[in-house]
Amino acid sequence: MTLREISLTLPNRPGTLAGVARILAEARINLAAVSVDSTPAKGRVRLIVSEPDRAVELLNGAGFTTEVRELLAVRLEDRAGSFLRVLEVLARAKVNLQSAAILVARDGNQPVVALSTSDPDRARKILTRGGFASHGPEGLLTNSDLLAGAPTVPSESVALLL
């Protein structure tokens, strides 16, 4: 199973996001990460949850339109410019970055970043050749792992979505 994020576009009204959170909470679906960006009329919400398939089914059933994206897990050196190197490799290959989630999870001493791209299979190959992706991070992380506290993934694994 791959790491996945759910995206929704919501009207920018008080209580709309609370309604989404209520659906997930009532179904006991744990939220590992949320990112919200809005304009005066609407907001874009990205979620990483413990059970993405069930969450999508419930949200769609409640009238929300969802989009699910596969996330690639890549490791970075823990120093300035390492994320830039990933972005440059993707840009040279003309693979568009759609989202990024910087995770607290680490592969050894290296930070792990979850990326959504326009072509996940091609991006995975390119980043593996570039020394960023490995079977370690991708085999390490699933949506449930982010919340279950797998031995190498702290339970507070998602720190920031970009």
Domain extents in the chain = 3-69, 71-161
Q: How far apart are CA 133 and CA 119, in angstroms?
A: 15
Q: Give me the pLDDT at residue 151, please.
A: 38
Class of domain 3-69: alpha beta
Q: Give me the pLDDT at residue 20, please.
A: 93
Tens digits of per-residue pLDDT, 6-34? 999 999 888 888 899 999 999 999 887 78
Q: How far apart are CA 71 and CA 61, in angstroms?
A: 24
pTM, to two decimals:
0.64
- Indicate left, alpha or beta for 95 from its phi (over 0: left) and psi (-120 to 50: alpha): beta
Say yes or no: do domains 3-69 and 71-161 share a fold: yes
50: pLDDT strictly greater than 50: yes
Tens digits of per-residue pLDDT, 114-158? 676 778 788 888 888 887 765 554 454 555 555 554 434 333 333
Class of domain 71-161: alpha beta
60: pLDDT strictly greater than 90: yes
